[in-house]
Structure 1
Amino acid sequence: MKKLWRVSAFILMAALCAATNAQDKYPSQPIRMIVPFPPGGGTDLVARVISTELGKATGWALAPDNKPGSGGSLGLSLGGKAKADGYTLVMAQNANLVINPLLGTGNYDPVKDFAPVVLTASAPMVMIVAKDAKYKSLNDILAAAKASPGSIKFASPGVGTSGHLAGELLQQLSGTKFLHVPYKGTSQALPDLLGGRIDLFIATVASLMPQIKEGTARSLVVFDKARQAELPDTQTIVELGYPGGEAVTWWGVVAPAGTPREIVVRLNKEINAVLKNPAVQAQLKNGGADVHTGTGTVEEFVDLIKSDVPKWRSVIEKANIKPR
């Protein structure tokens, strides 16, 4: 009996030592970073900057792998089903990680199927009107909507996008009703906004800054708690009396659920170190992203995802949003 116990104890110790050695040697092979969108977009930019600079800082081999499809759901699905060994990561976005499953266009659970690693960057929504529009403030928009429900034509880059949900959330908080006009993207909506065929447009600050800087459009409200450095005179949704009205696109690294905690924590530490690099911050800022400068914990990212799910589920259900 004692001999059997000793053998079992030896096997257990050997297994523990092997696991510890494996963690110490991580990574011993290239790390795949799935990018759920085509090359050239915002998510691709964030993923490539992080991968490149993380490789330079650590000597690790990281390979971005673009897997576009189904509005970002294909890449998330592949990542969630990958082996949970730390060698497959995904540059997730709240639109594909959280919102797509709520709309029924993602076959994964944003909480159960992934191990959040670190939040990397974000970009708030902003509402704009044409430069010569009669609406000078958000209150003007809401007053007109209350006087004639459905008369305000509100455009977004598409059904279920962060811009669309920001507008629906505003209507729910303010007790107003707009007429949603979805487009296939920002470039398709802007001519109609500037031509007066729609009243307002909501998308990310980054995508609409060119029109604001050129003076062809005016910003009325930023959907965040803090004012944007690029728009210091534009009030936030919270300042205007709608706490909980924040709508922000964010990007963060996730791994398959079950990835060893030691690996997740190490990745968090190394990526946070990269995010503190001024050169990295400049690259992401130039791409329209507000960098989370290297202080985000795993737990904070977990909490963000868990809080986003009920928030946007409520908005989607109240607005009866269906995927197109």
Structure 2
Amino acid sequence: MPLFRPGRRAACLAAALACAGPAQVLALEAFPARPVTLIVPNPPGGSNDVFARAIGKRLGDALGQPVVVDNKAGAGGSVGAGLAARAQPDGYTLLFVSSTYTTNAAIQTGLPFDPVHAFTPVAMVAKGPMILTVNNDLPAKTPQELLALAKSQPGKLNYASSGVGSINHFATHQYAQVAGVQMTHVPYKGMAPAINDLIGGHIQVLIASGPSILPTVKAGKVRALGVTSATPSAVAPGLAPLAATGAPGYESGLWWGILAPAGTPAPVVARLNTEINRILGQDEIKDLLLREGAEPDPKTADAFGAQLRGDIEQWRRIAQQANIKAE
């Protein structure tokens, strides 16, 4: 499908060229004329890296130029994001981000970029629910029973997270807040020790991503009660949304998307958005995402931007209310 209706494309391109700087003129005239760099601000091997490489390979095929994935890990993702923010806004440098970008933006100070204004949203790639799980010995077989137990023992149930200010810390705090219960937060340095202590009964509750916790659920070592998404998810068939089981209006989850430096020409963003959304319709990509606990979530660039800004505002509000600060 063309980006512009016949007759309008030339006029829109001419207007854009008239207002653009030299780098933008080149981008608009022949994008892409050289390889595109997709910065992943995380080490190789995680979901961000896996998704970026799968999308990048197919995006390169669609554009006729390679998309080179460049892992720039460090400082919770701010090293890679800072590099991308300082790049020329010509479409040749992109940044692959996840929902962690918004939680970091909510609690980290002194970032080398403005998390709201330094980037132009390009495309949402995927979304995935998190799973509410409990220790097998806890006498709660449903979310309603868990909430009733928590209400009868304010503050006595412990919930784990992979660290202060992590997405599952925010998600569990938000869940307790919406449901009107009090639980005690126990932060861990990573998900593996948190899961081990959930199995051992040292903590009672954990909200975690599908890939990190579902193997333990399937092995019968912990019990899954529900999903954090607003609707049922193919990632965890048979589990109901927590919003429908005692926490009305609650929704949280993981997402992945692509940003570009602020000022990237709109026609370039539109081209990238169109191609990425087409890629998300491919069965091979759908299968890969599902194996990694996610589902395609194609959106317009504007819709993705609205979600990103909304998440940052929400997490900042919760961080202020709960005094959640980066360690």
- Relative to the length of structure 2, the TM-score reads 0.89
Residues 256 and 244 (structure 1 numbering): CA distance in 2 closer, same or farther, change over 3 Å? farther
1:6-85 superposed matches below 5 A: 16=18, 22-85=27-90
Aligned with 1:202: secondary structure? strand
**Whole-angstrom CA distance in 2 between matches of 1:71 and 1:244:** 30
Contact 2:122 2:258 in 1 (8 A): yes
Corresponding residue of 2:136:
131
Displacement of 1:20 in angstroms is 6.2
1:164 partnered with 2:169: yes
Corresponding residue of 1:199:
204
Residues 54 and 310 (structure 1 numbering): CA distance in 2 closer, same or farther, change over 3 Å? same
Corresponding residue of 1:103:
107
Displacement of 1:22 in angstroms is 4.5
**Whole-angstrom CA distance in 2 between matches of 1:251 and 1:185:** 20
Gapped regions of structure 2 (runs ≥ 5): 1-13
Contact 2:135 2:203 in 1 (8 A): no
Contact 1:102 1:313 in 2 (8 A): yes
Residues 227-274 of structure 1 deviation map (CA, whole Å, 9 limit, x = unaligned): 122433322122124344211111100000000111011110111111
User: Aligned pairs, how many?
Assistant: 309
Contact 1:166 1:245 in 2 (8 A): no
Indicate which of 296, 305, 325 corresponds to 1:302: 305
More displaced 10-residue stretch of structure 1: 171-180 or 34-43: 171-180
More displaced 10-residue stretch of structure 1: 139-148 or 174-183: 139-148
1:279 partnered with 2:284: yes
More displaced 10-residue stretch of structure 1: 225-234 or 152-161: 225-234
Contact 1:101 1:107 in 2 (8 A): no
Aligned with 1:238: secondary structure? helix
Contact 2:123 2:300 in 1 (8 A): yes
**Whole-angstrom CA distance in 2 between matches of 1:25 and 1:264:** 14
Corresponding residue of 2:270:
265
Gapped regions of structure 1 (runs ≥ 5): 1-11
**Which letter does structure 1 place at the counterpart of 2:228?**
F
Displacement of 1:184 in angstroms is 1.6
Displacement of 1:87 in angstroms is 0.7
**Which letter does structure 2 place at the counterpart of 1:175?**
G
Residues 191-221 of structure 1 deviation map (CA, whole Å, 9 limit, x = unaligned): 2111111101111122211112222221112
Indicate which of 192, 196, 202 corresponds to 1:187: 192
Corresponding residue of 1:316:
319
1:113 partnered with 2:127: no
Displacement of 1:62 in angstroms is 0.9
Aligned with 2:242: secondary structure? coil
Indicate which of 87, 91, 100 corresponds to 1:86: 91
**Which letter does structure 2 place at the counterpart of 1:316?**
A
Displacement of 1:21 in angstroms is 6.6
Displacement of 1:121 in angstroms is 0.8
- What stretches of structure 1 move > 4 A for 4+ residues in a row? 17-22
Contact 1:125 1:162 in 2 (8 A): no
- Relative to the length of structure 1, the TM-score reads 0.89
Displacement of 1:174 in angstroms is 2.0
**Whole-angstrom CA distance in 2 between matches of 1:101 and 1:157:** 17
Contact 1:149 1:177 in 2 (8 A): yes
Aligned with 1:151: secondary structure? coil
Residues 244 and 75 (structure 1 numbering): CA distance in 2 closer, same or farther, change over 3 Å? farther
More displaced 10-residue stretch of structure 1: 154-163 or 278-287: 278-287
Corresponding residue of 1:216:
221
Residues 31-52 of structure 1 deviation map (CA, whole Å, 9 limit, x = unaligned): 1100010000010011111111
Contact 1:101 1:108 in 2 (8 A): no
